[in-house]
Amino acid sequence: MKIGFIGLGAMGKAMAARLVAAGHEVTVWNRTRSAVDELVARGAHAAASPLEAAQNEVVHSMLVDDAAVRSVVIAGGVIDGMPHGSIHVNHATISVALAKELAPLHRVRSTEYVAAPVFGRPDAAAAGNLYIAVAGDPAAVDHVRPLLHVLGQRVWSLGDAPERANIVKIAGNFMLASAIESMAEACALTRAYGVDPHEFLDLMTNTTFAAPAFKTYAPLIADRRYSPPGYTLRLGRKDAGLTIEAAVSERVPLPFASVLDENFLDAAAHGDDKLDASALSEVTVRRANLDSR
Amino acid sequence: MKIGFIGLGAMGKAMAARLVAAGHEVTVWNRTRSAVDELVARGAHAAASPLEAAQNEVVHSMLVDDAAVRSVVIAGGVIDGMPHGSIHVNHATISVALAKELAPLHRVRSTEYVAAPVFGRPDAAAAGNLYIAVAGDPAAVDHVRPLLHVLGQRVWSLGDAPERANIVKIAGNFMLASAIESMAEACALTRAYGVDPHEFLDLMTNTTFAAPAFKTYAPLIADRRYSPPGYTLRLGRKDAGLTIEAAVSERVPLPFASVLDENFLDAAAHGDDKLDASALSEVTVRRANLDSR
Amino acid sequence: MKIGFIGLGAMGKAMAARLVAAGHEVTVWNRTRSAVDELVARGAHAAASPLEAAQNEVVHSMLVDDAAVRSVVIAGGVIDGMPHGSIHVNHATISVALAKELAPLHRVRSTEYVAAPVFGRPDAAAAGNLYIAVAGDPAAVDHVRPLLHVLGQRVWSLGDAPERANIVKIAGNFMLASAIESMAEACALTRAYGVDPHEFLDLMTNTTFAAPAFKTYAPLIADRRYSPPGYTLRLGRKDAGLTIEAAVSERVPLPFASVLDENFLDAAAHGDDKLDASALSEVTVRRANLDSR
Amino acid sequence: MKIGFIGLGAMGKAMAARLVAAGHEVTVWNRTRSAVDELVARGAHAAASPLEAAQNEVVHSMLVDDAAVRSVVIAGGVIDGMPHGSIHVNHATISVALAKELAPLHRVRSTEYVAAPVFGRPDAAAAGNLYIAVAGDPAAVDHVRPLLHVLGQRVWSLGDAPERANIVKIAGNFMLASAIESMAEACALTRAYGVDPHEFLDLMTNTTFAAPAFKTYAPLIADRRYSPPGYTLRLGRKDAGLTIEAAVSERVPLPFASVLDENFLDAAAHGDDKLDASALSEVTVRRANLDSR
């Protein structure tokens, strides 16, 4: 298939590479050039602009946040450049509000908008092991489904309304941040009683909490090894904001989400935005003053 | 081995039955008689008092809370009835404060105190699939280790100080309640946007959250099926209280634990103490008024 | 002085009336006509559009929120209609972000922007007993100071940057909502032990808490009399959102603000948006299930 | 009247001195001797033991916490030493649980128990300007009322059950801590936008928040002057614990109380127990990292 791919961050690069490797003709665009070159070396074409990358049967985008999507997809010409009948597959974790705005912007141009946010870190993207939540027009979803199976090990269909895939992704990231915070608090408590975090997390993540969310972040928390980041604290903070925004909009009180929001602010105020999101754990360590005991 | 077993609730009954089935000579005591009869039918001896059950080489106890331990073990004669050199294996989830109090009470009587709290619900206990955290005098722990392997699929040693096993158990239950609350909040949010909780939790618990803690409680939350309880809300509430108590005692601020404490109170104020702890989810449903939308 | 006054809600109407009564020539505009007629009956002129009302030496605006300010002041022509050298005195409680946006929009048009948010309910506005926080160009502030003294009993100058007056107003409203919440929680607790809220609040508000914030809301909470509203729950909820937004923007974790945000959502989810903000108290009553005890 | 006074901390000393100055024959006891000497110099008699001080018509006690009351009043002989028909007036801020325990301990000894917790700092005690909440047997309350008017400027009667006065005191201290926290958060937010805390608090405490609770603590927060303490952070922390304990016991979710509990732990973990309770403000300053901006 002829595919455009817009946004080659750590995730987008790995995803685009899989599409190239699967034999598709992929034209890529990125804000900075070096990532484009890497993909070209693997067999992709370089587009000079988002608009050029948009001139394909299917256009994937994997941009960092609402602002980037507004700037590249809306203002930057993607929606205007897409041919009639083409399909935009948006993998980004964006707000529900923007998701609701994007669907009609495509419809009036006779293109299709499919939301397909992904779960997984860059290594899972490279291995095609992502989990993908997808929502949008059923025919469009069916059309791009083979591509989604190149990217992910499993695909969940969530119906016609694209924002349903986005809220699922937002809620999933909320659960991830909650997992980090619950490990952080449990470790701080047990550490205050002399138990080594490695010991505690080894027990938990090999028993009742033997799931990727916990197994991925537990060693980072126990080792206090937050760099290089897989999922930055800045991104985690943005996602916590999306949770609150979605909750406020539909009037759903979520106290865990509030705690996460506060602790992400605390972490950011201490300069940890570029670390891995698991550095959230340091907030609890600092508040309990554990390092000075 | 000649074993005493004190406390035959849903968990204790299943654990004592495994010790009997493994060929040990087990003398049991319980506050109410019917559970004793069940065990006698399987080959156990009935003790007329806790003190009588205490007259064994190893005495297991599985009582519901601090008050029960104080009443049965301290006031009720267990520590006084144990022979010199015998070992008390306490499986109950008790406070750190009580754990610190019990060890010297045994030491001065030349008996040993081993804390061995367990992770798992009654069905896991019946199958010998518990996870067990153990702490206490190393020789005593070695002596009872074969018994622990009858009860659990895996045993974690946490050193000499018994309260270390208790704080690990308390922190583990905190993580469990956090898992319930995070699913509850995520479901409330996605439901407000039209996503069925079954759909959402199916995705999460088959991907990044594919762990027993989530797989056990997710269907109860999605079905809103809180009865019969495996782990009652009242117990969950008690355990949340133990978390706060331990945190206050060592000055560790734990905001997730506070949220859990508040929501358990909310649930109890609405009469849900006898339901499964996953009924915590109804607090969020009620606060967001989801059933009236 | 020739004055324009835009926005005649409960507050704006009372404020404009005072300016008329003080002998100023006031041209008023409002989205709905009836409030305009009332002011005309008191001696004001009616403007057919915001742009017409803007053609004055000083233009006061008292609009309900950011959206209204964007719609009327920016899109609706106020900033374009103001004569060179004229001064816009914005009394609305708006976001810091919008405040920062408005100042340069005036500057490039050679007009002045003064932020002058007010503290007090409609009865205080009618009596000229508001408290006013003012910030902006010192000469402009000096020019309008006599008008501010017509509206308020005391005026606090907070420097050149208009947003400083806005953040002070936002923080003040946060303290007000905190006062309501702290009374609500204290009443729920004492009521659970048989103390009548009137008794408790009578003691507190006549002793250590004898301040308008408490004396105004205590009887509403004790009587559970939330209608007619002085300051609606919807406005309180909007202001809680402004607090969170300002805190996120500068990375300041504010746990009380999070609690308020959650409880305002809970209240709104139960249909209380049109009641007085003190109906926040019902959230705690409901959570503790006090009416069914 | 012949009076015993037990407990001469900063508050007790000032209160006992007023009773002496009013012409009563006061026999005092304190754990350390120096405070006793001060009172003797003013005309009081020294008791060699709590039991000796208890041998009076009315016995006031002002001890620091539950543990002190248990040790001195119950174990230390006060209740055993009191003559038939005498009245114990307990001014301490104690738990509801202990209050419920003390009343029958007096009743069976044919003495009376009156709870009379006080609001105010040592300077108010010295001036007789305390506010006093009183509850207990009406005849006993009437008997000691003249003494209460020597100590306080106003006395609130809260009925027969002594614990009602205690819960009112606990809730009052909760409101006080909430006042401190709300000022702390508001100052942190406004400071992040360049507003000096003095400026902000001057505005608030001279307008809608012009009450002793705010006027007392605002300058301490603005100046960051937490020493010498009037009401120590350790005491504030204890009182926050009493709030949570009372709330848990009657199942009343109180999110503000949870926040206070967490922040008091944070402050204590940073060594601030001996500072004034207003040092709670430093928790927010530290979390927002304001001093490093």
Given this model, what pLDDT does residue D139 score? 97
Sequence length of chain A is: 293
Given this model, what pLDDT does residue B218 score? 98
Residue B34 phi, psi (nearest 5): -55, -40
Chain C residues touching residue A247 (CB < 8 angstroms): 265
pLDDT tens digits for A251-272? 999 999 999 999 999 999 999 9
d(CA C15, CA C20): 9
Q: Which residues of chain D have pLDDT under 50?
A: none
Q: Is A207 on the interface with B (CB under 8 A)?
A: yes
pLDDT tens digits for A68-91? 999 999 999 899 999 999 999 999
Q: Is A199 on the interface with C (CB under 8 A)?
A: no
Q: Is C207 on the interface with D (CB under 8 A)?
A: yes
Q: Which residues are paired to D157 by β-bridges?
A: D134
* Residues within 8 A of C (CB atoms), D 137-156 only: 154, 156
Q: Which residues of chain C have pLDDT under 50?
A: none
Residue D45 phi, psi (nearest 5): -95, 150
Nearest to A7 by CA among A20, A144, A22, A39: A39
**Nearest CB to D258 within list B251, B252, B262:** B262
The alpha helices in A108-161, defined as continuous H runs, are 122-126, 138-151
d(CA C45, CA C53): 9
Task: Determine, for residues A246 and B287 on separate chains, whether the beta-carbon distance falls below 8 Å.
Answer: no
d(CA C169, CA C116): 9
Q: Is B105 on the interface with D (CB under 8 A)?
A: no
Q: Which subunits count as partners of chain A given 3+ CB pairs below 8 Å?
A: B, C, D
Per-residue CA distances from C76 to B119, B245, C116 (Å): 64, 58, 21
DSSP state of C134: E
| C-beta separation of B195 from A167 below 8 A | yes
Task: Determine, for residues C190 and D204 on separate chains, whether the beta-carbon distance falls below 8 Å.
Answer: no
Q: Is B173 on the interface with A (CB under 8 A)?
A: no
Q: Which subunits count as partners of chain D given 3+ CB pairs below 8 Å?
A: A, B, C
d(CA A96, CA A71): 17
Chain B residue nearest residue D271, CA to CA: B251
Q: Is D241 on the interface with B (CB under 8 A)?
A: yes
Task: Determine, for residues C189 and D170 on separate chains, whether the beta-carbon distance falls below 8 Å.
Answer: yes
**Nearest CB to C251 within list A244, A259, A265:** A265
Residues 6+ apart with CB under 8 A from D272: D226, D233, D279, D282
Work out the percent of chain D whose per-residue pLDDT is above 70: 100
d(CA D216, CA B225): 52
d(CA C287, CA A253): 13
Q: Is D288 on the interface with A (CB under 8 A)?
A: yes
Task: Determine, for residues C252 and D154 on separate chains, whether the beta-carbon distance falls below 8 Å.
Answer: no
Q: What token pair was written down for C110?
A: 């050679």
Chain B: closest CA distance from residue A66 (Å)? 19
**Nearest CB to D289 within list A270, A287, A289:** A270
Given this model, what pLDDT does residue D71 score? 95
Interface test with A, best of C233, C239, C244, C286 (most A CBs within 10 A): C244
The catalytically annotated residue of D2, D13, D100, D169 is: D169
pLDDT tens digits for D77-113? 899 999 999 999 999 999 999 999 999 999 999 999 9
Task: Determine, for residues D248 and B241 on separate chains, whether the beta-carbon distance falls below 8 Å.
Answer: yes
* Residues within 8 A of B (CB atoms), C 255-284 only: 255, 265-266, 269-271
Q: Which subunits count as partners of chain B given 3+ CB pairs below 8 Å?
A: A, C, D
Task: Determine, for residues A258 and C254 on separate chains, whether the beta-carbon distance falls below 8 Å.
Answer: no
pLDDT tens digits for B92-130? 999 999 999 999 999 999 999 999 999 998 999 999 999
Chain B residues touching residue C255 (CB < 8 angstroms): 255
Task: Determine, for residues B250 and A154 on separate chains, whether the beta-carbon distance falls below 8 Å.
Answer: no
Chain C residues touching residue A248 (CB < 8 angstroms): 241, 261, 265
Chain B residues touching residue A251 (CB < 8 angstroms): 192, 288-289
Give how far the C-alpha of residue C51 lies from the chain's centroid of Cα atoms, to the nearest Å.
23
Interface contacts (A, C; CB < 8 Å): 46
Q: Is C287 on the interface with B (CB under 8 A)?
A: yes
Chain A residues touching residue B96 (CB < 8 angstroms): 193
Q: What token pair was written down for A268?
A: 């950011």
Interface contacts (C, D; CB < 8 Å): 208
Rg of chain C in Å (alpha carbons)? 20
Per-residue CA distances from C95 to A140, A265, B95, D185 (Å): 41, 19, 47, 18
Given this model, what pLDDT does residue B172 score? 97
d(CA A27, CA C198): 71
Given this model, what pLDDT does residue A180 score? 98
Q: Is C45 left (phi over 0), alpha (psi -120 to 50) or beta?
A: beta
Given this model, what pLDDT does residue C194 score? 95
| Strand locations in chain A (E) | 2-6, 25-29, 45-46, 58-61, 87-90, 112-115, 118-119, 130-134, 152-157
Given this model, what pLDDT does residue B92 score? 95
Angle at B277 (CA atoms; ends B276, B278), nearest 5 degrees: 90
Chain C residue nearest residue D215, CA to CA: C208
d(CA A217, CA D131): 53
Given this model, what pLDDT does residue D286 score? 98
Given this model, what pLDDT does residue A88 score? 98
d(CA A41, CA B288): 52
Q: Which residues of chain A have pLDDT under 50?
A: none
**Nearest CB to D287 within list A266, A271, A288:** A266
C26: Cα within 13 Å, side-chain hemisphere? 30
Nearest to B276 by CA among B220, B222, B201: B220
- The mean of the pLDDT values for chain B is 96
Q: Is A246 on the interface with B (CB under 8 A)?
A: yes
Residue D159 phi, psi (nearest 5): 100, -170
Given this model, what pLDDT does residue D263 score? 98
Q: What token pair was written down for B178?
A: 């956090």
pLDDT tens digits for B189-229? 999 999 999 999 999 999 999 999 999 999 999 999 999 99
Given this model, what pLDDT does residue D166 score? 97
Chain A residues touching residue B207 (CB < 8 angstroms): 119, 131, 154, 212
Chain C residues touching residue D247 (CB < 8 angstroms): 189
**Nearest CB to B195 within list A158, A179, A194:** A158
Q: Is D289 on the interface with A (CB under 8 A)?
A: yes
Q: Which subunits count as partners of chain C given 3+ CB pairs below 8 Å?
A: A, B, D
Interface test with B, best of D248, D272, D273, D284 (most B CBs within 10 A): D248
Interface contacts (B, C; CB < 8 Å): 18
Residue C135 phi, psi (nearest 5): -150, 145
Chain A residue nearest residue C245, CA to CA: A241
**Nearest CB to A256 within list B163, B185, B193:** B185
CB environment B17-27: b (16+ within 10 A), e (fewer): bbbbebebebb
Active site residues of C: 169
| C-beta separation of D129 from D120 below 8 A | yes
Q: In one letter, which amino acid is C216?
A: T
Given this model, what pLDDT does residue B45 score? 97
Residue holding tokens 């290089």?
Answer: A228
Task: Determine, for residues C171 and D154 on separate chains, whether the beta-carbon distance falls below 8 Å.
Answer: no
Q: In one letter, which amino acid is D235?
A: L
Strands C2-6 and A130-134: unpaired
Give how far the C-alpha of residue D23 lies from the chain's centroid of Cα atoms, to the nearest Å.
25
Chain C residues touching residue A269 (CB < 8 angstroms): 251-253
Chain D residues touching residue B244 (CB < 8 angstroms): 244, 261
**Nearest CB to B265 within list D241, D251, D268:** D251
Given this model, what pLDDT does residue C235 score? 95
Nearest to A252 by CA among C160, C268, C199: C268
